[in-house]
Amino acid sequence: MKKVTINSVATYAGVSKKTVSRVLNNEPNVSPATREKVLKVFKELDYTPNPIARGLARNRSFIIGCLYDNPSKSYITRVQSGALEACHKHNYNLLIHPCELRGEALIENIEHLLTTSRLDGMVLTPPFSDSEELIAFLKKKNIHFARVASAIDDAESISVRSNDEQGAYEITEHLINLGHTSIAFIKGHPDHSATEQRFTGYQRALAEHNIAFKSHLVAEGNFSYHSGADSAKAILDLNPRPSAVFASNDYMAAAVLKLATQRQLKVPEDISIAGFDNAPIARHIWPGLTTIAQPVEEMTRQAVEQLILQISDEQTPVYQATLEAKLITRESTAKPSC
């Protein structure tokens, strides 16, 4: 079975390959008759154009790379889903590249990626969207990129984020309004800018409601379920025990819930628990977790869409947006019983 190229089609149809190319790309200035003829040969020969050759000629791969390093599988799939939506809309495809921020050599890793696969652009998700080093490297290499949920201020590059600080403020305020005054907090991974932002929101809510911040109520997590379990132990062992726990994401909140349940504590009667992200697990467990829903898909979709616009037209103004996070109230939070 011989390969069918544009040349075979051209010969077979009795036209030049440029004309075949015109038909392929729906260019004008092809007579209807010729177009028909060529299209018929496409069918007959079962011709599929070679995207690589096209890519070489146009200096495009039509592939976007997606960088992430995140323990949350639901976050990753939401990112992928938003990115794919934008990609497919513009006939791009998505190549995934999970890697470690603190790996021995992030830059070398990315350099190798670019050697093995030409990418027209890259979407950076946390913590990469906050890596000054990586951003400098991409700029130097003239690689287009878009930042998702990045805290870095850089007017030159595309950025779509959500308001983490405000979300954390609102959920903390929600607990305060219920009557909680002793609210523990579990921090996220220190490499993620969201960690600091959520912590700030928590502190601001306390301050604005005249509740003294107590550092012994703060546990250091890293967004993983496991770290949540460790933090849960430390918090539930406190005496007096806080009446509420706000974990920086739902997995850690789920870990608190699990340990509380194991210890025969009733949630939310004995202790209220709040999370962040509105991951699927938040509604897959009982009681469902009060949390903050972030438009992860939408952030990524917008970021990739703008990235593709920028690739197609360098003149596109740099897009920067902040989307709203939204409080979702479920059964895991209530008035303190005492």
Span near DNA by CB under 7 A; candidates 54-62, 169-177, 246-254, 299-307: 54-62
261 binds, among DNA, its own copies, none (CB under 5 to 8 A by kind): its own copies
DSSP state of 216: G
Binding at 5: pick from DNA, its own copies, none (beta carbon under 5-8 Å per type): DNA
Residue whose entry in the numeric block shows the structure tokens 């550092």: 215
56-57-59-60 Cα dihedral, nearest 10 degrees: -70
State the minimum distance, in angstroms, from the CB of residue 117 to DNA: 14
CB-based burial of residue 200 (10 Å sphere; 0-12 exposed, 13-18 middle, 19+ buried)? Answer: middle
Beta carbon nearer to DNA, 3 or 140: 3
26 interface partner picked from its own copies, DNA, none, CB below 5 to 8 A per type: none
* Smallest separation (angstroms) from its own copies to the CB of 30: 19
Q: Which does 77 bind (CB under 5 to 8 A by kind): DNA, its own copies, none?
A: its own copies
**Residue 214 contact partner, candidates its own copies, DNA, none, CB within 5 to 8 A by sort of partner:** none
- The site map against DNA for 10-39 (x = CB under 7 A) is ----xxxxxx-xx-xx--xxxx-xx-----
Q: Please give the structure tokens belonging to residue 195.
A: 């960690």
The entry of its own copies, DNA, none near residue 222 (CB within 5 to 8 angstroms by kind) is none
Applying CB under 7 A, among 43, 46, 57, 156 the residue interacting with DNA is 57
For the CB of residue 204, give the shortest distance to its own copies in the complex, in Å.
30
Element (DSSP H or E) covering residue 311: helix 296-312
Give 64 or 217: the residue with its C-beta nearer to its own copies.
Answer: 64
Using rule CB under 7 A, residue 58 touches DNA: yes
Q: In this complex, which beta carbon is closest to its own copies, that of residue 7 or of residue 117?
A: 117
Residue 320, φ and ψ in degrees, nearest 5: -140, 130
Compute how many other C-beta atoms are within 10 angstroms of the C-beta atom of residue 29.
6
Q: Which residues contact 251 (CB under 8 A, 6 or more apart)?
A: 71, 72, 223, 224, 225, 228, 275, 279, 281
Least Å distance, CB 53 to DNA, is: 3
Rounded to 5 degrees, φ, ψ at 134 are -65, -45
DSSP sequence for 1-57 = -----HHHHHHHHTS-HHHHHHHHTT-S---HHHHHHHHHHHHHHT----HHHHHHH
* d(C-alpha 252, C-alpha 69), whole Å: 17
- Binding footprint of DNA on the chain (CB under 7 A): 3, 5-7, 14-19, 21-22, 24-25, 28-31, 33-34, 49-50, 53-54, 56-59
